[in-house]
Chains A and B, each alone.
Chain A
Amino acid sequence: MILRNGNLEDDGWVRLGDDAPVEGGVPVIVSLDRWRDDHQSLALRSAPVGVFLRPDQPPTEILGDLERLATVAFEMPVFKDGRVFSHARLLRERYNFRGDVRVFGHVLRDQYLFLDRCGVNVIEVDGPKAAEDWASAMTELSVVYQPAADNRRPIPSLRRDAFDRAGERGDNAKADARVRLFSHTYGHLSAQNLLAEMIHTEFAGRIALVSSFGSEAAILLHMVAGIDPALPVVLLDTRKLFGETLRYRDLLVDRLGLTNVRSEQPDAAEVARRDADGMLWQRDGDACCSLRKVEPLERALSGVDAWITGRKRYQGARRAVLPVIEASAGRIKINPLASWTRDLVDEYFAEHDLPRHPLEEDGFRSIGCMPCTDRIAHGEDLRAGRWRGRSKMECGIHETPASQSLTSSGL
């Protein structure tokens, strides 16, 4: 008797010994040797023919014959010999054999499931209990982790579906998990080593430095020049910058050998439309920042997955909890100097003999656009001179995105 896909049937096939006579009209399964000797006469008969292979005979032995065979059978002399599992899969998955794949010999019911998964559809069995065994074997393990010759969907594929359904939630979780991972992997590195890892490995070709060319900008520019002078460096030239800042930019580019500094300007047509008289900064500071900084930055960062900023925790209350690595609107933002102190900044300038921004000796400590930047008095918050007299503290390019929730798996 046989189980065909679990159904008990009388076996209509005869497995022939190598010397046994062939009866007309009966489907027969012969050894590989006999097939090689007799395939012409066997193929001429009207009844279907099969070949059985021993464990040391891989299906490649009969590749040219598959079209003429209705059955390929595998002998299992001992159940522990697992070659049949590979052979059956190859027959099904690589050689696209669509006939019966049969096993006979010492087969345990505990192997039915894996045989089924590997593409075996006919099992020679002793008695009717086998059908029951087959049915329970098929349900014993209902989940599978890996693809095989069957059409059970593997768990990874089911998970992908579940994750896709989770949709937006999944994206947030992913970004946040990435940040945690990066923080964990790189958060302990010094600024220089962190930059090198980010620029050369983690985000190679997909990372830029955004620099104000302001009072402390020379530090990151100097570090980056040592790692990759061709790294894209973006200056948001709002058309309202101090002339000193632009001259300082040229000085640093020249001194440090930076070869890829881009000055991103606001879109001229938009400026004409939204700020024809150039006084938007006075009427609506946020609108002005949006036009001249936030929107140009987005353009400058297209095609970039991560960007580097020079922000530091000591620069003001709003930056006191600044992380070294954070997620920002779909990108990763890296703040290598987040934990630096004023002393470290001064030391670095001295040690590397870097030129100071010309406005610094004039009392400016945080330098943005001309109309909205003021000197600060001794003891004031370093950014107190920005948008003085207004509640505005940041231009908008560093707004913290709404806090993101995270579940560990997304499922």
Chain B
Amino acid sequence: MYRYDEFDHAAVSQRVNQFRGQVARHLSGELSDDEFRPLRLMNGLYSQLHAYMLRVAIPYGTLSSRQLRALAGIARKYDKGYAHFTTRQNVQFNWPTLQDTPDILADLADVEMHAIQTSGNCIRNVTADQYAGVAVDEVTDPRIYSEILRQWSTFHPEFSYLPRKFKIAVTASRGRDRTAVRFHDIGIRVHRNNAGEIGFEIMAGGGLGRTPVVAATLNEFVPEADLLSYCEAIVRVYNMIGRRDNLYKSRIKILVSALGAAEFTRLVEEEWAAIRNTSLRLPSDDVERIRAYFAPPHYETLANPPPELAAQLEDDRDFAAWHRQNVARHRQPGYAIANLSLKPVGGVPGDATAEQMEAVADLAERYSAAEIRVTHEQNLVLAHVAQKDLVAVWQGLAAHGLASANVSLISDVVCCPGLDYCGLATARSIPVAQQISTRFAELQKAWDIGELRLNISGCINACGHHHAGHIGVLGVDKRNEEFYQITLGGNGEYDASIGEIIGPGLPGSEIVDAIERIVEAYLGIRESGERFLDTVRRTGIGPFKEAVYDPPQR
């Protein structure tokens, strides 16, 4: 994985000191709330319902065991012993004090981590495929380009006061997209042209929030050397003409929609032509140097599958269930990708205790090249597990409540913190997620249902990505009562789609029953091989609407 050199170390530690000074100036009254706000946000510090919240970046979702232990240490020392993994490969601490924050950032800097630009109207943490480097379907490791973009966007002097926040994701998958690339301000798909050269399909103007938009493709193939100049052109056009008069209309998606993708592309490419051959050009040697950091760990030559695996699966049904649902194919024969669900039945999606984080760090050290991945579905991944060690890994996870065999099933609910923590929320989301995972706890039943992405947001800002859920649930406030609106048919992959609202919102007491009726309707009408999403796409929302609002009398 990437390691800081002397320049990166200098940048991060200087930033800690700078922020320490800003906190002191704020506490002394020199910096007003309004002036301090963007400064603390650009260091990841939010003011929430009950306390400050610190959001720490996990660039492209890759962590070392040492880093995860440091996060556990921070949870213990400065927080209430747990942390929350978000939908954008970040981790959040919910209870730090303002005064402690510079010390927390210093602790992070010691392990080459930071909270820089995890919030604020700037370029945020650049995300990537959690299976980067081990996926069987990837063109090359997307983290190389995420890291190059991370550096380019860090302390960008021109782009630190944009009209609104700005999110970039990079995928290099030939198969399924695991980054929700089409729901980003800039989405980047790494691929090769007919001559075999690496380049990028560049998409822009995607996003969720109150106006969900699927990103448009600006250019099918931007050469590798032009990655930074093309991105700089996009952000510059946005910075200059994006709306600033209305908070709700200031994301780039509004600009792209207003101009039309063709006109926006024209403006970008005109700007690009002017800066393409400047020092933004990326020499291939630079790329290779970054690439070297992401060289794979040492793999042994192992039997694929190991001879003992069949018997292990036979012997233990729980292990078999976990193996079936949470273990993915690895590009190296004899190895596997193990997904760790942070969605136990009745639990808070994405939360992990300090003990759990330490346990995962230990397991990674012992069995997975001391490296952990974080997914935008709020789960963790051990990306280099020898198949012969899967049983031991599973046992280690089970001992810490991390072996829920439900990845990508209905109980693998993606969920924002909602009104339990967040100052923007209009309804609670965590209790709904807990009820759903409890209702669908029976694995056999969840398997019958198959792949089903269920996403819950506690307000229109859509941090739970409800628009992109096969089933989306949006919490709204109606005359001081929590109501939940259901959308169906959303999807965050390459064939992205936005969920369609099926009807009026339902009170909290009815939402889980409604979801169950939707699922039963699906089980009744699905054709062979259809996932829930496929069925919704085939039939439209009609049958589901009927199941919720006009169920047959029993």
- Across the interface, do A82 and B160 meet the contact criterion of CB distance under 8 Å? yes
Question: Is the beta-carbon distance between A86 and B236 smaller than 8 angstroms?
Answer: yes
* Chain B 144-162 near chain A by CB (<8 Å), digits 1 or 0: 0000000110111111111
Interchain nearest-CB distance for A204 vs B (Å): 4
Contacts of B6 in A (CB 8 A): 411
Q: A79–B288 contact, CB under 8 A? A: no
Per-residue CB proximity of A146-162 to B under 8 Å, as 1/0? 11100000111111100
The interface-forming segment of A172-180, A253-261, A361-369 is A172-180
Contact A147 B279 (CB under 8 A): yes
Given A163-B289, A180-B296: A80 touches B279 (CB 8 Å cut-off): no
B77 an interface residue at 8 Å Cβ cutoff? no
Q: Say if the beta carbon of A383 comes within 8 Å of chain B.
A: no
A residues 193-229 with Cβ under 8 Å of B? Answer: 200-204
Report the Cα distance A158→B279, complex, angstroms.
13
A82 touches which one: B17, B159, B296 (CB < 8 A)? B159
A115 and chain B: residue at smallest CB distance: B157
> In the complex the two chains form, what is the Cα distance from A121 to B254 in whole Å?
34
Contact indicator B22/A110 (Cβ below 8 Å): yes
Residues A135-155 near B (CB distance < 8 A)? 136, 140-148, 154-155
A117 within 8 A of B: yes
Q: Which of B111-140 contact A (CB under 8 A)?
A: 121, 133, 136, 140
Using a CB-CB cutoff of 8 Å, which residues 306-363 of chain B contact chain A?
Answer: 331-333
**For the complex, would chain A's binding face be called helix, strand, loop or mixed by DSSP majority?**
helix
The reply to whether A143 and B278 form a contact with Cβ atoms under 8 Å apart is no
Contact B288 A174 (CB under 8 A): yes
Task: Evaluate contact between A80 and B296: CB separation under 8 angstroms.
Answer: no
B525: which A residues are within 8 A, CB to CB?
Answer: none
- Known pairs A147-B279, A201-B196; A141 contacts B18 (CB<8 A): yes
Known: A145-B155, A148-B158. A58 touches B285 (CB 8 A): no
Determine the residue in chain B with the shortest Cβ distance to A144. B155
- Is A140 within 8 A of B240, CB to CB? no
Name which residue of chain A comes closest to B163, CB basis. Answer: A82
Q: Which residue of B lies closest to A140 (CB)?
A: B18
Q: Is A47 an interface residue (CB 8 A)?
A: no
Closest approach, in angstroms, between the C-beta of A149 and any C-beta of chain B? 8
* A410, B17: Cα distance in complex, Å: 29
What is the CA–CA distance of A181 and B198 in the complex, to the nearest angstrom? 15
CA distance A111 to B22 in the complex (A): 12
Among A79, A86, A185, contact of B239 (Cβ-Cβ < 8 Å): A86
Tell whether, in the assembled complex, residue A410 and residue B289 are in contact, meaning their CB atoms are under 8 Å apart.
Answer: yes
- A319 within 8 Å of B (CB atoms): no
A94 contacts the other chain (CB 8 A): yes
A-B complex: 3 closest residue pairs judged by Cβ atoms: A82-B161, A201-B196, A117-B157
What are 29 of the A-B contact pairs (CB < 8 Å)? A79-B38, A80-B121, A80-B161, A82-B121, A94-B274, A108-B35, A110-B39, A113-B157, A114-B158, A114-B160, A117-B157, A140-B21, A143-B10, A144-B155, A146-B151, A146-B157, A147-B278, A147-B280, A155-B11, A155-B151, A159-B7, A160-B285, A174-B288, A177-B292, A180-B296, A187-B332, A188-B332, A203-B196, A411-B5
